[in-house]
Structure 1
C-alpha cells in the first residue's frame, strides 16, 4: 500500500506530492538546476519523455546522439527513485573513465549517493563502496558487466531493492555491435535470478550509435531472456555544432599536421583537444612530439596505472592539460564540455567508434571541429590490427 501511494502518481492537479516528486521538470531543477529539458522543436523534448517513462518504471530503449544529454535521462529517474523509496539503480557501463566522469559530475552537483565499482579503486575504497551499498547509502551504482560474477558485489546488492537496471552504451549487448562484450549478456541472466518470482524492475538501454540490426539484437535479447518489450525512443545522430573534415595526409606528415590543427583551434580560444591514434606506442610517441612543440599534453591508454589515468583525466577536465593523445580506451569516457577539436591521426575500427570518439567534441553545444587525417595505407593497418585482435580473442 505504501509503495502504491509513493510510486504511482494519482494525476490529481491539487496533489502537491505528484506536482513535485512525480514531475520531471520539478525534479530536473531540484537535482541539476536546469529550468527545462532540451527541445528538438517547440513542444517536443525527447529528454523529457524518456525521463518521464523512467520515473514511471517503463522499460525504455533510447537512442540519443553523443553529447545529447543521454546520462541525465537515466540519472534523474534514479535520483527520483532513491528519494521516493530508497531503491538502488544499477548502471552497467563499459569504461572506467566513463563511470568516473559520471560520479564526479554528480558530486559537483552535491549529489552524494552515487558510487562506482571498477579497477580504479583500491581495496579499501572498494570495501567502503560495498559497505555503503549494503547500508542503503548508495542510490546510483555504476559497474562494469564483469562485476556481476564477483561474489562480494552480488552479496551487496542482494541486500537492496533494485529499482532499475540500466545498460549504458547498450550496443555492447549486440553481437553486431562494434564493442561487443560477452559479459553484458550474463547480466540479464543475473537479473532473472535476482528477481525470482518478484516483479521485474525497470530495464533501460541507452546508446548513441546503434544501427537497426543492433537495435533488433538488443530487443530480441531482452525479449528472450526477460520477456520484456521496450518503449523505443529513436532520437537522431546528428550534431549540428560539429564540423567534420577528412584531410588527405601521408603518414610522415601527420604529426606536423596535427600540430598545425592544434594551433588553428586552440591559440585563439579556450578549451581542449583530443587526438586519437590506433596503438599505445603511437599515443606515447605523438604525445612526446607535441610536448616537444610546447603543448601541455599527456598520452592515455589502457596500459597506464589506474591512479595515473585518474590524474590525467582530472587534469584534462580542469584545463591543466589542453591535449590528450589517446587510444579508444578514452573514446567513450571523457565528458569535458569544451573540447574544441578532435583529431583522428589514424582511422578508427568502425563508424560507430568514430561517432563515439568524435562525439567528445562540443558537448557545451559550442562549435567544434572533427578532423580525420587520411592516408590510404591506414586501412591496411587497421585491418591488420583487427585480425590480430580477433585471433587473440579466439586463442583465449
Structure 2
C-alpha cells in the first residue's frame, strides 16, 4: 500500500477549534491559593497549529482549567456537545494541577466525582499523598497494594460523597461495573493521565488502555449522560502521516473525537547534559576509574542536592551499593527497582 493510499484509509481524527476563555473564575483562583498556596497560574507554551508551522503561543493554566470546568458544566446541564481535551506538555509543566483543580472545584460546587485513570501506582500514591499533605482530604486511590478491606473503605467513601477525586488504574476500572466504585454518584470528569500508554508505538503500551476508549464510550451510554474526557501526556510524537504517530492514535484509541488539542512544546529548558570523557589514570581498571569519577560527583551532589543515578540493570544497583556506597559510608542513599517488596519500595 502506498503512503497516499494509507492516508486515505487512515483518516485523521477531527480536531475542534480552540476557544480559550480569557481567564478562570474567581472561585478557582481562591482554590489555587487555599489548596496549593500559589498566588498565580503558570503559562504553558503550545503550538498554535502544527499543520501550518511551529509558531507557539502561551496559554495560562487557569485558561485550561476554566475550559475543563466549562465542558463539565455543559455535560451536567444535559448538553451533548461536550468537548474532550488532549494536552501534551513536558514533565514539570504542572499537568496534575490542570485536572486536580477542576476535580476539586466540581466536587465542591456540584458534588460531582472526578475519576483519574493512571497506569503508575507510584505516581498515583505520590499525587494523592501530595494533596493530603496540603490539607485536601477528599481524595483517595485504589490499587493492588491495598488490602480488600482498605479498598472497600475507599469505595464506601467515594459512593457516600466523602471523596471527590478518585484515582485508580485502568486494569481496576475495567474489572468492575462503575457502580462498584461510584454507586449513584454522578461523574463530572474522567482524566486519563500518562495517555501515551494507549498507543502501540511506545514500549510503555498497556493492553488494558487499549480497551479504555470503548469502555468510556459505553459508560456514557449506560449512564445516560455525558462527561468530558481530559487526557494528558508528556510523551506524544506528532506525525499525522502515520509512522510513530502518538497524538492521533491516542485520540483514536480513547475515542475522543472530536477533540480539542493542545500540543505543547517538549523542550526542557531547565535540563542540561554534562557529558565528559572519562580519563583512566595509570594503573586503574575501567571499573575503578568509573568508581572514582562517580564517587567524586556523588560527594559533590549529596551536599544539599537530590541526585538520581540510573542503571540499566537492577542487579548492577545492589552491586554498586555494596562496592561503592557502603565502603564510602554514604548516608541517605537508597535504591529502588521493580523486584523490591512493597515495604522496601515505600
TM-score (norm 2): 0.76
SS at match of 1:272: coil
Unmatched tracts of structure 1, length 5 or more: 1-10, 12-17, 311-396
Q: Greater relative contact order (Cα 8 A, min sep 6): structure 1 or 2?
A: 2
| Aligned equivalents of 2:141, 2:277: Cα separation in 1 | 42
1:229 aligns with: 258
Higher helix share: 1
Q: 1:26-37 to 2 correspondence within 5 Å?
A: 26-37=30-41
Cα deviation for residue 107 of structure 1 reads: 0.6
Alignment partners' CA distance in 2, 1:19 and 1:47: 12
Going from structure 1 to structure 2, the CA distance change for 1:174 and 1:110 (only over 3 Å counts) comes to same
Please say if 1:207 is aligned against 2:221: no
Using the alignment, how far apart are the partners of 1:29 and 1:147 within structure 2? Answer: 33
State the partner residue of 1:265.
301
Q: CA deviation at 1:119?
A: 2.4
CA-based RMSD = 2.4
What whole-Å deviation, never above 9, does each CA across 1:151-192 have from its counterpart, x for those lacking one? 377512253211111111111011113311111122222222
**Which one of 290, 294, 297 corresponds to residue 325 of structure 2?**
290
Deviation sequence 1:271-322 (CA, Å, 0-9, x none):
3111111222122222333233222212111112223211xxxxxxxxxxxx
The SS at the match of 1:276 is coil
1:87 and 1:162 in contact (8 A); partners too:
yes
TM superposition shift of 1:111? 0.6
Q: How many residues align?
A: 286
Picking from 280, 286, 294, the partner of 2:314 is 280
TM-score, normalization: structure 1? 0.67
What is the distance in 2 between the residues matched to 1:279 and 1:200?
Answer: 45
Which is higher, the Rg of structure 1 or of structure 2? 2
Q: Is 1:39 paired with 2:43?
A: yes
Residues 54-91 of structure 1 deviation map (CA, whole Å, 9 limit, x = unaligned): 11124211111111111101111111111111111111
Q: CA-to-partner distance for each residue in 1:345-368, whole Å, 9 max, x for gaps? A: xxxxxxxxxxxxxxxxxxxxxxxx
Richer in strand (by share): 1
Deviates further, 251-260 or 98-107:
251-260
SS in structure 1 of the partner of residue 136 of structure 2 = coil
**Alignment CA distance shift 1:284-1:235 (3 Å):** same
1:218 partnered with 2:250: yes
